[in-house]
Amino acid sequence: MEDRFDHDPVPTRLIGAVLTGGLSSRMGQPKALLPHSTGGSFLSHAIRRMRQVTGEKVLLSLPKDDDQLPLSDGLLSSSSIIRVPDTLPNQGPAVGVWRCLLRAQVRGHSACLLTPVDLPELTATDLQELVQVWQNDPEQIVVANDETEERLQPLVAIYPTRCLPAIEGVVKSHHRSLYRHLQTQSFLRVDLPRASLRNVNSPDDLSSEPS
């Protein structure tokens, strides 16, 4: 069942983004198009989840050569989906984060809430926890943390657009690691359940997905 909120989405200074730019090499097919246990695809689920938190318009980060990723239902084919193709192929997720922040800034937003497409159990309630922390200090980076393993999840995070120069630096670095970058930054952490942050990378992960 989808989460429901009685309040309005957060102010337009925050926009949501779904990252789908990975190669899906271990899965053998685009993870965005995998069927979700609640119906629809991983991608449609991720966008619906994001819309519950940040509103109708959602940035969709896509591989450079796959900006025509098929969107199978009317919800996703609407003009409220803003496609953001990567400019540097196969360079890791930092490129998608950087490109989404650029687009957010151009559109007049001050921050971007990001999630990857391959977290089928992440909920809108989880994302709302990040937003509530960010609203108290909107100049700070807010990052999800696996409360069981004590590991940061830099792709489940809110990045203010002020971070653009630093994220561009990550993209141009030899390591291109957001996790490594965060070790040098001030940020706020939000503990989330391990199950919410379980990602699906291979068919074995998919077969073990809870019903």
pLDDT 10s digits, 179-208: 999 999 999 999 999 999 988 765 555 555
Q: Is 193 inside any structural domain?
A: yes
Q: How far apart are the first and last CA of the chain?
A: 12
Q: Is 4 inside any structural domain?
A: no
Q: Is 64 inside any structural domain?
A: yes
Predicted local confidence at residue 15, as pLDDT: 97
**Average pLDDT, integer, range 89-95:** 82
CB-count burial class (<10 Å; 0-12, 13-18, 19+) for 139? exposed
Of 121-125, 134-138, 200-204, the least confident: 200-204
**Average pLDDT, integer, range 148-158:** 91
25 or 47, higher pLDDT: 47
Is the per-residue pLDDT at 96 higher than 90? yes
Q: Is 8 inside any structural domain?
A: no
Q: Is 2 inside any structural domain?
A: no
- Kindly compute the dihedral angle of the four CA atoms of residues 151, 157, 161, 164, in this order, to the nearest 10 degrees: 40
As a whole number, the mean pLDDT across the chain is 83
Is the per-residue pLDDT at 8 higher than 90? no
| CA–CA distances in Å: residue 102 to residues 21, 77, 130 | 16, 22, 21
| CA–CA distances in Å: residue 137 to residues 25, 111, 152, 177, 178 | 38, 12, 19, 25, 21
The domain in which residue 187 lies consists of 14-207
Q: Is 150 inside any structural domain?
A: yes
Q: Which two tokens stand for residue 160?
A: 């203010």
Of 74-78, 82-86, 172-176, the least confident: 74-78
Q: Is 5 inside any structural domain?
A: no
Q: From CA 17, how far away is CA 181, in angstroms rounded? A: 20
Q: Is 1 inside any structural domain?
A: no
Predicted local confidence at residue 80, as pLDDT: 87
Give Cβ neighbours of residue 75 (< 8 Å, ≥ 6 apart): 44, 47, 48
| CA–CA distances in Å: residue 203 to residues 42, 159, 200 | 14, 31, 8
Predicted local confidence at residue 211, as pLDDT: 40
pLDDT 10s digits, 31-78: 777 888 888 888 989 999 999 999 989 999 987 665 455 555 555 557
Domain tally for the chain? 1
Predicted local confidence at residue 6, as pLDDT: 44
- Kindly compute the dihedral angle of the four CA atoms of residues 91, 17, 144, 95, in this order, to the nearest 10 degrees: 20
Q: Tokens 């890791």 map to which residue?
A: 92
For 21-30, b/e burial (b = at least 16 CB within 10 A) is bbebeebeeb
34: domain CATH number is 3.90.550.10
